[in-house]
Amino acid sequence: MPPSILAGMLGLVYVNYFYKVYILDQFAAFPEPVAQQLRKAIYFTNMDLQPPRALKYYQQALQLAAQMGMDPFSDAILGVRIEIAFLFEKANARPAAIRVLEDMREKMSDWLEKRDEEGNVIGEPVEAKPGEEGGEEDAEKVLENVRYRRLRRTEVLKKTVRIAGRLGDFYSEGVALDPELAEERMVWAVTALLREQKRRDDVGVKDGEGEWFGHEEVRAALESLGTHYASQRKNYLAAPLFLQALGVGGNKDCHAVVTMNNLAAALALQNPGMISGQPAASATQQLDDASTWAKKALQLAQEIRPPQRTEECDEGCAVATVNLGDFAALGGNTLQARAYYIEGKSLSKGIGFQEGVARADKALMDMSKQR
């Protein structure tokens, strides 16, 4: 009973954030000789894809940047390295993209481990606090340095979280398939993201730290890990993550319909008693809980009107209806299951959602065979 969109659209959210343009809006951050090489590299990445030529210019840009003393962990330089990974992925050279990102992740993790929450190097003398030196100009200079270190730490940590999440996506599919490594990278990303968010919630955002992740990207990280667990049949771990994702922000959009369907499927597919220390839910209770969330998905999708309504709402309605048929069938209510399958097929057909039609047809055929 695989839900139609259990793993659908989630990775794309991370990709959209991860490969947003880092360089094009930041040429002012580079000395002109570096910017010249980057313009050539980006041309042979985005306009006329020629990976060898693009890579040559990226490497020349990085060499020039190092010679001119640019910070290798600055937002600008890290952005160049991410663009190189994007180049490899665009050229269908995923192993090369992974090598670039893994190298970045290791170096950035080492950099972060050597610094405290203020961005100061652990074990080195801390610069005087604002006001401890003589004159107003000195105090302002110290404060600027404090803000710079805080922002630098935030940007490095954000990129490390994004890179770990993207690597988790890579290891979840295709030639790089490695479920254990995928889980390790995704768990680290979600843990680091939530730990920093909690710190900011507890003590407040410090002057100069900059913004942390927005609601949409937090949801994407939680859902990506939940989807991974679901693909590994660890639905008892997937369900809490989908539920947590639903609690982030307003969450009344069409993507929430997808998340509710994912939660419903994870609840239905849980093995009773998997979570130690908690009373085991009965199979009947699990199906009731799953049906409740599928119905909530239907209700939310029906409430959303254009222009906020997207294809996710339409497909979400069809999936929720077919899922309700699955839940009814598992509960032994064949008449209700058949009605849901027929309705789900009709909805799917009306929007051209072939996967929904195929699922409903198969379920109806299976029921006919069991007569």
User: Among 187-191, 280-284, 340-344, whose mean pLDDT is lowest?
Assistant: 280-284
Domain assignment present for 221 = no
Residues 83 and 198 reside in one and the same domain: yes
- Claim to verify: residue 313 and residue 167 sit in the same structural domain: no
Task: Let me know if residue 290 belongs to a domain.
Answer: yes
Q: Is the pLDDT of residue 213 over 60?
A: yes
**Looking at the structure, do residues 158 and 74 belong to the same domain, yes or no?**
yes
Rounded distance, CA 340 to CA 146, Å? 60
Residue 210 pLDDT greater than 70, yes or no: yes
Note whether 290 and 344 are same-domain residues.
yes
As for how many domains the chain has, the answer is 2
Averaged pLDDT for residues 323-337 = 93
15 vs 301, residue with greater confidence: 301
Q: Which of 159-163, 278-282, 311-315, 366-370 is predicted least confidently?
A: 278-282
Which of 187-191, 194-198, 271-275 is least confident? 271-275
Tokens of 365: 């055929």
Q: Is a pLDDT exceeding 90 seen at residue 350?
A: yes
- Whether 266 and 203 map to the same domain: the answer is no
Query: In the prediction, which pLDDT does 1 show?
Result: 41
Question: Same structural domain for residues 203 and 244?
Answer: no
Tens of pLDDT along 64-115?
999 999 999 998 999 999 999 999 999 999 999 999 999 999 999 999 999 9
| Window from 40-44, 110-114, 133-137 with minimum mean pLDDT | 133-137
Q: In terms of domains, do 205 and 308 share one? A: no
Residues 153 and 82 reside in one and the same domain: yes
Task: List the domain range (segments joined by +) for residue 187.
Answer: 1-121+146-209+227-232
**Average pLDDT, stretch 24-41?**
85
Is residue 130 one of the residues assigned to a domain? no
Are 171 and 286 in the same domain?
no
CATH classification at residue 61: 1.25.40
Residue 191 falls inside a structural domain: yes
Q: Could you tell me if 249 and 330 lie in one domain? A: yes
Q: Is 137 a domain residue?
A: no
Domain CATH code at residue 290: 1.25.40.10
Q: Are both 63 and 166 inside the same structural domain?
A: yes
Query: Same structural domain for residues 182 and 325?
Result: no
Look at residue 283 in the predicted model and tell me its pLDDT: 84
The percent of residues above 90 in pLDDT, for the chain, comes to 75
- Is residue 220 a part of any domain in this protein? no
pLDDT, one tens digit per residue, over 239-256 is 999 999 999 977 789 999
The verdict on residue 214 lying in a domain is no
pLDDT at residue 49 above 50? yes
